[in-house]
C-alpha cells in the first residue's frame, strides 16, 4: 500500500490519556474497590518528641467494625517495626520506643469502612512522656541538645553527615585575591510537593497463592517491589505493584511510606485486601517534605564584575530519620551544581546534615536532587553581587555565563555540562520581556514612590539520572528498560519502566516510537505502571523520563527498525545495505516504488516468508538504557513584580520563561510542564512554607496554612524557547519536568528584592508573604522557618558584608 503522506510524529499532539480523564474515568488508587476490602487508618503522635510508655488498643479492638489493630509491638514481633530508608538510615514503621516528630505513625487500625476506622483511632490509648524537642536546625548540634536518634547504637548527637565538593584551597585563594566579596545567609524553607491526590495503597495478599498485589501511588513501582521483597521477606516474583493513574507525584510518591507497610501487614493479618489512603494533613505532616537548606553563601569577584569563585556552607535539616531520596554517593544530592551557569575559577561547598524532630524527607518537589537549592543560592548571590557592584544583573550574567565554545564543560565541582548557548537564551528572554523598557518604567515609578521589581534567574539543570556506575538508589543502578512488541498488523506496544503522574508519557513515548517506525501515534500503545507487564527500571522523578526511558524507547524502536530492515530486504529481494529508511518506510535506495511500511514488514515477519539471518520470526526487541551522562537543560527566566509598600503585598505582574531542553517531542506537553513549575516557584517564593513552633507543632498541616497558588496569583506565563540538542541522547532531548520549579523561585525573589532596593533591603527569605515583606522593609527580616509566636529572638540573622 502506498499509505498516507509522511508526517513527523513529533509536535503538539493531543494526549491519548485525556480521553478517560475528561470523562472522570481515570483509575486512581482510591477509586479502586476490591471485593472484601477493608480500610486502614493511622494513629499519629500529637507530640514532636516523647517516650512511649504504653499503647493500649483494647477498646479499639472491641469496636464492632474493627478487624485488627497493629501496633509497633505487633510489627516488632515480625521484625517489621523499622524499615530501611533511601539514605541508608532506618525509619520507624510504627513507633516502639519513642515518637520523633509530630504526626509520626503509632498504630494502624483496620476496619470495615473508612468512617469506622477513623472512629476507632480515638479508642486507642497511648501514654506519652514528653521530651524536649529539637526544632531549630541551627541548634541541633549545640552541645547538650536532646539526642533524637538514640535508637542508633552509640549515637550521642544529631549529626548525620558532612559532605564537601570542590577545591577548597583554590577557592580560598580566589577569595583572598578578590576585589569584592559578598556574603549572605539564606534559607530555602521546608516546603511540600502536595500533589492533589494524597498517597495511598491497597494491599491484597492472596493467602492461597502467596501473591501480594499492591495498588499504590508509586513513582517507582519496580523499586518498590524490590524493597518490599527485601524488607518483608516475600519472594519478589510473587509481588506485583500496580501504579494506576496517579494524581501528581512531584517526588512525593517516590518513597515507601509506613502506611504502605501497614496495609500489607493488615492484609496478612486479616486475609483481606486493605486500603489505606492518607488525609491531606497526614500528607503534609508526615510524607516526604522538600528543601530545608540553611545556606551561607559567599561570592568573590573583580571590581569590573568577573566572578571568580563561590563558597557555600549549608546546614541540611533532614527531620527525624534520613529518608531523603537521592543516588547513594550523593548525600546532599546534586547540590554540587551550585557553581551554576558561570565560568568560575573555583568553587567549594560543605554540607552538614542534621536530625530534628520533624518528618523525614528532604528530596522531593521537582528539586532534581537539590538543584533547586543550588540554583537559588547562586542566582541570589549573583544578584547580590550585582547590587554591590551597582551593575545591571543582566549585564553581570552576560559577562560571566559559560560560552558555547566551552562545552562540554567540567565545572569546579566535577559536573560535565553537555551543551549550551547560554548568552543567546538570556538575550532571547531580555528581548521578549522588553527589558530596557521595563527598567525605564521602574525608574519612573521609583520617582513616584512605587515599588516595581525585575528579577532574573539563569539556571542549568542536571537530570536524567543516571549512569549506573555513578548512580544507584539503594544499590539499584539507575538504568531503565523498554520492551517493544510489534503485532502482525503493525500495531506496537511499548512497555516502559517509568511511570507517569501527568507528564503525558502515553502520548510522548508513543510519539517517539511512531517517529522511529513511521507509525501513526494511534497505532502505538504505551504500557506502564504495572510491574507484571513492564521491564525493570528506577521510575519517574528527577526529570528522568525523557532522558532515560525516552532514550530507551528510541533505542528499542531503532532495534526493531533494524530487524525490519532485514525482513524488508528479504521481501524486496534486495541487499539490506541497499535499503534506506525514508518517508517512514524501508525502500531501495533511489527507488520509491520498491518500499515497505512497518505494517507490511510485521505481517511478513510472522508469515512463512523465508526469514534472513538474524531475524527469529517477529520484530520484537528490548533494551536497557544506561545513560552515558546526565543531560543539562537550562533556561533564562525574568519576573516582574509590583509591591505595595504600605502592606507588603506582592503581585507578580509578568513572568517570561525561555527554556532550552533540547529537542522537544511534544511542545504542547513541554509548555504545560513549564507552566506548572512556574506556579510552583511563585508559590514557594510568596506563600508556601511548613513552619513549626517551639514545641514542634507543625503549622503547615492543612491547605488553610500551607497555601498553594491559585489561578488568580499566577500571571499568564510567557514562554519562548531555544533548542540546543543533547549530544548524547538518541533524540537530542534533555527533559524538562523540573526546570521551571528549579529556576523560578530565584527570579521571583530577585524581583521582590529589586523592588525593595529603595528601602536598602538586600535580602529576605521565602516565603515573601505580606508580613515578611513588610518586616524586611522595616529593616527586621524574619526567620521564616520558625512560627511567628512562641520563639525568642525570631528576627533573622541575615548577615551581609
Partner 1 sequence: MQITVSVNGDAYTQEVEPRLLLIHFLRDELRLTGSHWGCDTSNCGACVVWLDETPVKSCTVLAAMADGHRVRTVEGMGMPGRLDPLQEGFSRCHGLQCGFCTPGMMLTARWLLDHNPDPTPGEIREALSGQVCRCTGYENIVRSVRWAAQYEAAGRDGGPSGGGPGETGHGPTATGVTG
Partner 2 sequence: MQVPAQVEYERATSVAHALALLTRYGPEARILAGGHSLIPMMKLRLAQPETLIDINGLSELSYVTVAEGTLRIGALTRHAQLLDSAVAGGHFAILHDAEKVIADPIVRNWGTIGGSLCQADPSEDLSAAFAALKATMVICHPGGTRTVPAREFFTGPYETVVAPAELLTEIRIPVRAGGGSAYEKVGRRVGDWPVGAAGAALWLAGDTVSDAGIGLTAVGAKHFAAAEAEEFLCGAPASEESFARAGEIAAEHCTPSSDQRGPAEYKQHLAKELTVRALRRALHRARAGDA
Site residues (CB under 8 A) for partner 2?
A: 114-115, 118-119, 279-281, 646-649, 686-687, 691, 699, 704-705, 707, 709-710, 712-713, 769-771, 774-775, 782, 787-789
Closer CB to partner 1, 100 or 253, in the complex:
253
Contacting residues for 25 by C-beta, under 8 A, at least 6 apart: none
The SS3 of residue 228 is: helix
Q: 500551607: which residue's cell?
A: 706
User: Is position 46 an interface residue for partner 1 (rule: CB under 8 A)?
Assistant: no
35 binds partner 1 (CB under 8 A): no
**Interface region with partner 1, contact rule CB under 8 A, candidates 244-252, 384-392, 447-455, 594-602:** 244-252
Tell me whether residue 201 or residue 538 sits nearer to partner 2 (CB atom): 201
Cell numbers linked to 791: 520563639
3-state secondary structure of 729: coil
Q: Among residue numbers 98 through 157, which ones bind partner 1 (CB under 8 A)?
A: 113-115
Between 113 and 236, whose beta carbon lies closer to partner 2?
113
Contact 181, 299 (CB under 8 A): yes
Closest to partner 2 by CB, 85 vs 198, is: 198
Quick one: what does residue 769 bind among partner 1, partner 2, none, with the CB cut-off 5 to 8 Å set by partner type?
partner 2
Identify which of residues 562 and 644 has a Cβ nearer to partner 2 in the complex. Answer: 644
Cα–chain-centroid distance for residue 392? 32
- Axis-axis angle for helices 739-755, 667-686 (nearest 10): 40
Partner whose footprint covers residue 118, from partner 2, partner 1, none (CB < 5 to 8 Å by kind): partner 2
Is residue 507 a contact partner of residue 521, using CB atoms and an 8 Å limit?
yes
- Shortest Cβ 707–partner 2 spacing (Å): 5
Q: Select 197 or 600, whichever has its Cβ closest to partner 1.
A: 197
Of 633, 247, 324, which Cα lies nearest the Cα of 464? 633
Q: Which does 699 bind (CB under 5 to 8 A by kind): partner 2, partner 1, none?
A: partner 2
Of 710, 789, 792, 801, the one binding partner 1 by CB under 8 A? 710
Comparing CA positions, the residue from 670, 710, 677, 455 lying closest to residue 545 is 670
79 contact choice in partner 1, partner 2, none (CB below 5 to 8 Å, kind-dependent) = none
- Out of partner 1, partner 2, none, what residue 253 binds, judged by CB under 5 to 8 A for its kind, is none
25, interface contact from partner 1, partner 2, none, CB < 5-8 Å by kind: partner 1
Binder of residue 658, out of partner 2, partner 1, none (CB less than 5 to 8 A by kind): none
Output 354 or 687, the one with its CB closest to partner 2.
Answer: 687
SS3 197: coil
Footprint of partner 1 on 465-524 (CB under 8 A): 501-504, 507, 511, 514, 520-522
Looking at the Cβ atoms of 156 and 704, the one nearer to partner 2 is 704
Interaction with partner 1 in 648-707: which residues (CB under 8 A)? Answer: 668-669, 671-679, 702-704
Please choose which of partner 2, partner 1, none residue 691 contacts, taking the beta carbon within 5 to 8 angstroms, the exact cut-off set by kind. Answer: partner 2
Q: Comparing C-alpha atoms, which of 403, 55, 41 is closest to residue 258?
A: 41
Scanning the structure block, which residue is given the C-alpha cell 541487499? 575
- Closest to partner 2 by CB, 514 vs 786, is 786
Smallest distance from partner 2 to CB 782, Å: 8
Site string for partner 1, 181-220 (x = CB under 8 A): ------------xxxxxx----------------------
SS (HEC) of 591-650: EEEEEECHHHHHHHHCCCCCCCCCCCCCCCEEEEECCCCCECCEEEEEEEEEECCCCCCE
Asked whether 148 and 91 are in contact (CB, 8 A), the reply is no
Q: Which does 695 bind (CB under 5 to 8 A by kind): partner 1, partner 2, none?
A: none
Instruction: Tell me the chain's radius of gyration from C-alpha atoms.
Output: 28
Bridging pattern class, strands 361-362 and 289-301: parallel
139 Cβ neighbours under 8 A, 6+ residues apart = 145
- The residues, ordered by sequence, that sit 6+ positions from 146 with a Cβ below 8 Å of its Cβ are 49, 131, 132, 133, 134
Size of the site for partner 1 (CB under 8 A): 73
Amino acid at each position: 500500500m502506498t499509505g498516507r503522506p509522511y508526517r513527523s510524529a513529533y509536535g503538539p499532539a493531543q494526549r491519548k490519556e485525556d480521553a478517560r480523564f475528561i470523562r472522570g474515568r481515570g483509575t486512581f488508587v482510591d477509586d479502586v474497590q476490591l471485593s472484601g476490602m477493608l480500610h486502614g487508618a493511622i494513629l499519629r503522635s500529637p507530640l514532636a518528641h516523647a517516650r512511649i510508655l504504653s499503647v493500649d488498643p483494647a477498646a479499639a479492638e472491641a469496636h464492632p467494625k474493627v478487624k485488627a489493630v497493629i501496633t509497633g509491638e505487633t510489627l516488632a514481633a515480625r521484625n517489621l517495626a523499622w524499615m530501611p530508608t533511601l539514605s541508608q538510615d532506618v525509619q520507624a514503621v510504627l513507633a516502639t520506643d519513642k515518637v520523633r516528630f509530630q504526626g509520626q505513625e503509632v498504630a494502624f487500625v483496620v476496619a470495615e469502612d473508612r468512617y469506622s476506622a477513623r472512629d476507632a483511632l480515638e479508642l486507642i490509648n497511648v501514654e506519652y512522656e514528653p521530651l524536649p524537642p529539637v526544632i531549630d536546625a541551627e541548634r541541633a548540634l549545640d552541645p547538650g541538645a536532646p539526642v533524637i536518634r538514640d535508637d542508633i547504637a552509640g549515637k550521642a548527637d544529631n549529626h548525620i553527615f558532612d559532605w564537601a565538593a570542590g577545591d577548597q584551597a583554590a577557592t580560598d585563594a580566589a577569595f583572598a585575591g578578590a576585589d569584592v566579596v559578598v556574603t549572605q545567609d539564606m534559607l530555602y524553607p521546608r516546603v511540600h510537593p502536595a500533589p492533589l491526590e494524597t498517597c495511598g495503597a491497597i494491599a491484597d495478599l492472596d493467602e492461597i497463592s502467596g501473591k501480594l498485589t499492591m495498588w499504590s501511588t508509586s513513582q517507582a513501582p519496580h523499586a518498590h517491589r524490590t524493597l518490599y521483597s527485601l524488607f518483608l521477606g516475600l519472594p519478589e516474583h510473587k509481588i506485583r505493584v500496580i501504579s494506576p493513574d496517579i494524581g501528581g507525584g512531584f517526588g512525593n510518591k517516590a518513597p515507601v511510606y509506613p502506611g504502605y507497610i501497614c496495609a500489607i501487614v493488615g492484609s496478612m493479618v486479616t486475609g483481606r485486601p486493605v486500603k489505606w489512603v492518607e488525609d491531606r494533613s497526614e500528607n503534609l505532616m508526615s510524607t516526604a517534605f522538600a528543601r530545608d537548606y540553611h545556606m551561607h553563601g559567599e561570592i568573590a569577584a573583580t571590581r569590573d564584575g568577573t566572578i571568580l569563585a563561590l563558597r557555600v556552607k549549608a546546614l541540611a535539616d533532614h527531620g527525624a530519620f534520613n529518608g531523603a531520596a537521592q543516588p547513594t554517593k550523593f548525600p546532599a544530592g546534586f547540590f554540587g551544581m551550585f557553581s551554576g551557569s558561570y565560568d568560575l575559577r573555583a568553587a567549594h561547598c560543605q554540607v552538614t546534615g542534621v536530625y530534628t524532630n520533624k518528618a523525614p524527607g528532604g528530596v522531593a518537589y521537582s528539586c532534581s536532587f537539590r538543584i533547586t537549592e543550588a540554583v537559588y543560592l547562586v542566582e541570589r548571590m549573583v544578584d547580590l553581587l550585582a547590587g554591590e557592584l551597582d551593575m545591571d544583573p543582566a549585564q553581570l550574567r552576560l559577562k560571566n555565563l559559560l560560552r558555547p565554545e566551552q562545552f562540554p564543560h567540567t565545572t569546579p565541582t566535577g559536573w560535565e555540562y553537555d551543551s549550551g548557548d547560554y548568552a543567546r537564551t538570556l538575550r532571547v528572554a531580555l528581548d521578549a520581556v522588553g527589558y530596557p523598557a521595563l527598567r525605564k518604567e521602574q525608574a519612573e515609578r521609583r520617582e513616584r514612590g512605587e515599588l516595581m521589581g525585575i528579577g532574573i534567574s539563569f539556571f542549568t539543570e542536571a537530570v536524567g539520572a543516571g549512569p549506573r556506575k555513578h548512580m544507584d538508589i539503594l544499590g539499584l543502578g539507575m538504568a531503565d528498560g523498554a520492551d517493544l512488541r510489534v503485532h502482525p498488523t503493525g500495531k506496537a506496544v511499548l512497555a516502559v519502566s517509568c511511570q507517569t503522574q501527568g507528564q503525558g508519557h502515553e502520548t510522548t513515548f508513543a510519539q517517539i516510537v511512531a517517529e522511529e517506525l513511521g507509525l501513526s501515534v494511534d497505532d502505538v500503545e504505551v504500557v506502564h505502571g504495572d510491574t507484571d507487564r513492564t521491564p525493570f527500571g528506577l521510575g519517574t522523578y528527577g526529570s528522568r523520563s525523557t532522558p532515560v526511558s525516552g532514550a530507551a524507547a528510541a533505542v528499542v524502536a531503532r532495534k526493531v527498525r533494524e530487524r525490519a530492515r532485514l525482513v524488508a530486504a528479504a521481501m524486496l529481494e534486495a541487499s539490506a545495505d541497499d535499503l534506506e529508511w525514508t518517508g517512514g518506510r524501508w525502500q531501495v535506495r533511489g527507488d520509491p516504488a520498491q518500499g515497505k511500511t512497518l505494517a507490511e514488514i510485521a505481517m511478513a515477519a510472522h508469515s512463512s516468508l523465508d526469514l534472513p539471518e538474524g531475524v527469529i520470526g517477529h520484530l520484537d526487541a528490548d533494551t536497557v538504557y544506561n545513560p552515558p551522562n546526565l543531560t543539562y537543560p537550562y533556561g533564562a527566566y525574568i519576573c516582574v513584580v509590583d509591591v505595595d509598600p504600605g502592606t507588603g503585598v506582592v503581585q507578580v505582574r509578568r513572568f517570561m520563561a525561555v527554556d532550552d531542553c533540547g529537542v522537544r517531542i511534544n511542545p504542547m506537553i513541554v509548555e504545560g510542564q513549564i507552566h506548572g513549575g512556574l506556579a510552583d516557584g511563585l508559590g514557594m517564593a510568596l506563600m508556601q512554607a511548613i513552619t513549626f513552633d517551639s514545641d514542634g507543632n507543625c503549622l503547615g498541616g492543612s491547605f488553610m496554612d500551607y497555601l498553594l497558588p491559585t489561578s488568580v496569583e499566577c500571571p499568564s506565563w510567557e514562554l519562548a524557547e531555544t533548542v540546543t540538542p543533547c549530544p548524547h541522547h538518541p533524540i537530542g532531548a534533555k527533559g524538562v519536568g523540573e526546570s521551571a520549579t528549579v529556576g523560578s523561585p530565584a527570579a521571583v525573589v530577585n524581583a521582590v528584592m529589586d523592588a525593595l532596593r529603595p528601602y536598602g533591603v538586600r535580602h529576605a527569605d521565602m516565603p515573601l508573604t505580606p508580613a515578611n515583606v513588610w518586616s524586611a522593609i522595616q529593616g527586621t527580616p524574619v526567620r521564616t522557618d520558625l512560627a511567628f509566636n512562641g520563639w525568642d529572638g525570631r528576627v533573622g540573622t541575615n548577615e551581609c558584608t
